[in-house]
């Protein structure tokens, strides 16, 4: 509900759970909450027909799928039928936490920023390449190679 209010135009002007970009599969008796955020749109159903059994209850593959898909009404704007996708509450200024996390009373949702694996490595490599390119432009590739060879010997 908070999601639909946050994304209403103007903001907070309406509340409609059918416009939420998240749904939570809930088993209150077992205290199990599985959040599913709306992902990409697809024109056709997939072949996934896996059945998951959790605490003795069976769930279809679609139960945990975030796709806006023709097989069901989830993650579609109810008036226009246009697909809805979670944008992590992009906003200016940015929220401290996405709206759904802020209002989730059972605490089923948490927000943790994660650094993509290899991102730091990629960044370092990028910086190194820029530095080397500047040296090559200034002194020529042969001088740079000779200098690196001399340094690695020392």
* Least spacing, CB of residue 10 vs ligand SF4, in Å: 17
d(CA 147, CA 144): 5
Q: Residue 25 forms beta bridges with which residues? A: 34
Helix (H) or strand (E) holding 150: helix 141-153
The 40-79 site mask, x for binding ligand SF4 (CB under 6 A), equals --x--xx-x------------xx--x-x-x-xx-------
Gyration radius of the chain's alpha carbons: 24
Smallest gap from residue 47 Cβ to ligand SF4 (A)? 8
Among 22, 36, 76, 104, binds ligand SF4 (CB under 6 A): 22
Burial label, 33 (beta-carbon count in 10 A; 0-12, 13-18, 19+): middle
The binding site for ligand SF4 (CB under 6 A) comprises: 3, 6, 21-22, 37, 42, 45-46, 48, 61-62, 65, 67, 69, 71-72, 86-89, 98-100
């Amino acid at each position: 509900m908070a999601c639909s209010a946050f994304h209403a135009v103007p903001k907070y002007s309406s509340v409609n759970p059918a416009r939420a970009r998240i749904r939570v599969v809930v088993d209150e008796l077992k205290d199990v909450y599985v959040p599913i955020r709306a992902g990409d749109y697809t024109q056709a159903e997939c072949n996934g027909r896996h059945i998951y059994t959790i605490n003795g209850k069976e769930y279809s593959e679609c139960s945990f799928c975030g796709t806006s898909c023709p097989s069901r009404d989830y993650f579609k704007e109810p008036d226009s039928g246009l697909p809805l996708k979670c944008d992590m509450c992009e906003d200016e200024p940015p929220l401290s936490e996405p709206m759904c996390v802020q209002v989730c009373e059972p605490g089923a949702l948490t927000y943790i920023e994660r650094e993509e694996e290899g991102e730091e490595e990629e960044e370092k490599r990028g910086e190194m390449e820029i530095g080397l390119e500047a040296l090559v432009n200034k002194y020529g590739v042969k001088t740079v190679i000779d200098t690196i060879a001399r340094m690695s010997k020392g």
